[in-house]
């Protein structure tokens, strides 16, 4: 795999601070995410676990919510960092939500050890669900 570019390194760096603030009392797995929007602004989020596990918010979706709240509309790149044993590839729910804001954005993942991975959203969610109002009867 080719080395990270300076822009990729910077985006991963922006995901580290929210990782440190993650609320993970059940798993202990802290995750931070950063998304770059169409205007070049960076929005961050972290995972927030709930006692009702299904209500847990992933870092990627938290970052997208921050982007939308700030007026962003398109995700141009995604970075996810974790302090766990495996690379933090986005879960299925996050892949779906990301696909609604980005068609083929680069997705960068990194462990705090420095191990990293790179893919495109199209590789991670090649046939994401789409709902079009015109498709309804």
- CATH number of the domain residue 31 falls in: 3.40.140.10
Domain that holds residue 22: 6-125
Q: Are the C-beta atoms of residues 117 and 52 closer than 8 Å to each other? A: no
Domain membership flag for residue 130: no
Give the list of residues 6+ apart from residue 85 with CB closer than 8 angstroms, or none: 111
Is the pLDDT assigned to residue 98 strictly greater than 50?
A: yes
| Percent residues over pLDDT 70 in the chain | 96
| Coil, helix or strand at residue 15 | helix
Domain membership flag for residue 11: yes
Query: Model pTM?
Result: 0.92
Structure tokens given for 99: 């696909």
Work out the average pLDDT over 19-27: 98
Lowest mean pLDDT among 22-31, 57-66, 125-134: 125-134
Q: Are the C-beta atoms of residues 107 and 118 closer than 8 Å to each other? A: yes
Domain membership flag for residue 112: yes
CA dist 24 → 14, 33, 48, 51 (Å):
19, 15, 6, 10
Q: How many degrees, rounded to 5, is the angle at CA 18 between CA 89 and CA 71?
A: 90
Is the pLDDT assigned to residue 109 strictly greater than 50?
A: yes
Q: Is 60 a catalytic residue?
A: yes
Catalytic one of 20, 49, 60, 103: 60
Q: Are the C-beta atoms of residues 129 and 97 closer than 8 Å to each other? A: no
- Give me the number of domains the chain comprises: 1
Domain membership flag for residue 108: yes
- Average pLDDT over all residues of the chain: 94
- pLDDT band at residue 133 under the 50/70/90 scheme: low
Domain membership flag for residue 83: yes
């Amino acid at each position: 795999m080719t080395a990270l570019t300076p822009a990729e390194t910077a985006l991963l760096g922006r995901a580290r601070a929210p990782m440190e603030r993650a609320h993970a009392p059940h798993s202990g797995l802290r995750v931070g995410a950063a998304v770059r929007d169409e205007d070049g602004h960076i929005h961050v989020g972290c995972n927030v676990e709930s006692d009702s596990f299904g209500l847990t918010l992933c870092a990627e979706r938290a970052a997208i919510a921050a982007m939308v709240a700030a007026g962003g509309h398109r995700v141009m790149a995604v970075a996810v960092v974790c302090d766990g044993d495996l690379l933090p590839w986005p879960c299925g729910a996050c892949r779906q939500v990301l696909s609604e804001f980005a068609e083929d954005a680069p997705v960068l993942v990194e462990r705090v050890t420095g191990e990293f991975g790179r893919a495109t959203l199209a590789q991670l969610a090649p046939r994401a669900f789409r709902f079009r109002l015109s498709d309804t009867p």
